[in-house]
Structure 1
Amino acid sequence: MKRFQVAIDGPAGAGKSTVARQVAKNLGFTFVDSGAMYRAIAWMILQEGGQVSEPKAYQLAQNSHFSLHPQGVIVNGRVLTDELRSPDVSNLASTIATMPRVRQALVVKQQEIAEQESVVMDGRDIGSHVLPNADLKVFLTASIEERAKRRLEDLAQKGLSVDLETLKTEIAARDLNDQTREFSPLIQAEDAYLLDTTQMTIPQVVEKILVLCRTKMGGEE
């Protein structure tokens, strides 16, 4: 079967990474969590004291070596997984993602991966910018209330305590950040399939996307 690209976009907390990871596993494709790259840069900056600037973030994006990991990303040989999901990393990553030069550097790395093998890549601008010719584009969304509840459960499983209202405020702020940034904002690509997951379980969302994939592939496994 020829190389196949699946682009899954959507706002913070829509379940993109969880869904994309399972879709990729079912199809035998490579899962690419583009957001983990931005989070990794945020994590590195926080380790150095948290003073963020575009030149510094760009230098890290340009010079760091990224490789794939099932639960996160490997940066310069270091495996980063749960470290990438803290509120501090999430908030700083949202700021870093507005920096044009940083996005340009990481987009090149993401496109290089997608050129080599069949992928399921999730993020904010995959279908609209990173993989504009993807075979299937899906835009996942859900209400802010539902996304905040999901994030609360996810953080609780990691032993982190966060107030629901605080999460709702942070998610709304990230939505605004993502949608209004000048370079490559969060938008639904014209040819993307819109899927509201507010009332859906993860298995239901995964199965829906698998059906779309198999239809696009003409029934081939």
Structure 2
Amino acid sequence: MNKKITIAIDGFSSTGKSTIAKLIAKKYNYIYVDTGAMYRAVSLFAKQHNFVGNDFLDKEKLISNLNDISLSFKFNEDLGFAEMFLNDKNVEQEIRTLEVSQLVSKVATISEVRRKLVAEQQQMGAKGGIVMDGRDIGTVVFPNAELKLFMTASADKRATRRYKELLDKGDKVTFEEILFNVEERDRIDSTREDSPLIKADDAIEFNNSDMGIDEQFERICTLVDRKIS
């Protein structure tokens, strides 16, 4: 019987971390956790309560209201993956907007927010058999994960993917604002004091600027098979 391992997938925004993580989780019948969705949900809560905006952040008010935030994932059989629920309300669509994307890195810099979510993430993956993607999974959440991947791609390629994704959903956005958002999130994520986005020493780097999803999937499955056999 193959052992159940922990697979940590870190990397920059719009590198397809969630897409590949879902495919891996489905193939190996593992639990998939999108930690980015958790930070997005907290950002949505902060936005709804006027704790954060494009030009302000009321850090103390958000911290004092963290106990009012309940996050959970509920599997949607029709979609084939778990959706994000904030205080028992499905917010999967709301958290994927550009408006929330522009706020999430700001909220993610708050140490108290990170501590709350890291504790929840570690509890979710305590027994292994999990694929988790985010910014600090291999460095902070699961530093002892058996397999660590670090996804990267050029900012232009990532912005192009994100732009197409939002257009397909009917959002009215420009490529320039998407590119700015991608580059700004890179800057904030990489320079924040608490758990900055860095590649773990033992992580395998995947630059998928010119790599299709099928090729990535095959390569990663080979790595997983080596670890579980």
Deviations 1:25-64 (A, max 9, x none): 1110010000111100111122223544223333454442
The 1:4–1:60 alpha-carbon spacing in structure 2 relative to 1, beyond 3 Å, is: farther
Give the equivalent residue in structure 1 for 2:16: 15
1:184 to 195, 214, 229: 195
Establish whether residue 113 from structure 1 lines up as the match of residue 124 from structure 2. Answer: yes
Q: Which stretch shows the higher mean deviation, 164-173 or 135-144? A: 164-173
Q: Which residue of structure 1 aligns with residue 71 of structure 2?
A: 66
Partner Cα distance (1:97, 1:194) in 2: 23
| Corresponding residue of 1:44 | 45
Give the Cα–Cα distance (whole angstroms) in 2 for the partners of residues 184 and 153 of structure 1: 30
Does structure 1 retain, via aligned residues, the 8 Å contact 2:51–2:61? no
Indicate whether 1:212 and 2:220 are aligned.
no
Q: Is residue 100 of structure 2 the alignment partner of residue 89 of structure 1? A: yes
Per-residue displacement from partner, 1:67-119 (whole Å, max 9, x unpaired)?
Answer: 22425312221112121111110111110011111101110000000004411
Shift of 1:21: 1.1
Task: Show structure 2 runs of 5+ residues with no match.
Answer: 75-80
Mapped to 1, the partners of 2:117 and 2:197 lie a distance apart of 16
Q: Percent identity?
A: 39
Q: 1:196 aligns with which of 207, 211, 214?
A: 207
User: Could you say which residue in structure 2 is the equivalent of 1:127?
Assistant: 138
In the alignment, structure 1 segments of 5+ residues that lack a partner are none
Query: Number of residues paired by the alignment?
Result: 218
Secondary structure at 1:3's aligned position in 2? coil
Question: Which residue is equivalent to 1:158?
Answer: 169
Q: TM-score, normalised by structure 2?
A: 0.90
Q: Which amino acid aligns with 1:212?
A: L
Give TM-score, length-normalised by structure 1: 0.93
CA contact (8 A) 1:138 1:193 kept: yes
More moved, 59-68 vs 136-145: 59-68
CA pair 28-176 structure 1, distance change in 2 beyond 3 A? same
1:137 paired to 2:142? no
1:132 partner SS: coil
Distance in 2 (alpha carbons) for counterparts of 1:112 and 1:143: 33
* 1-structure distance, mates of 2:62, 2:3: 36
Query: 1:35 & 1:132 partners in 2: Cα distance?
Result: 18
How far off is 1:4 after superposition? 1.2
User: 1:209 and 1:114, CA in 2 relative to 1: closer, same or farther beyond 3 A?
Assistant: same
Q: Deviations over 1:5-24 (max 9, x none)?
A: 00000011111111111111
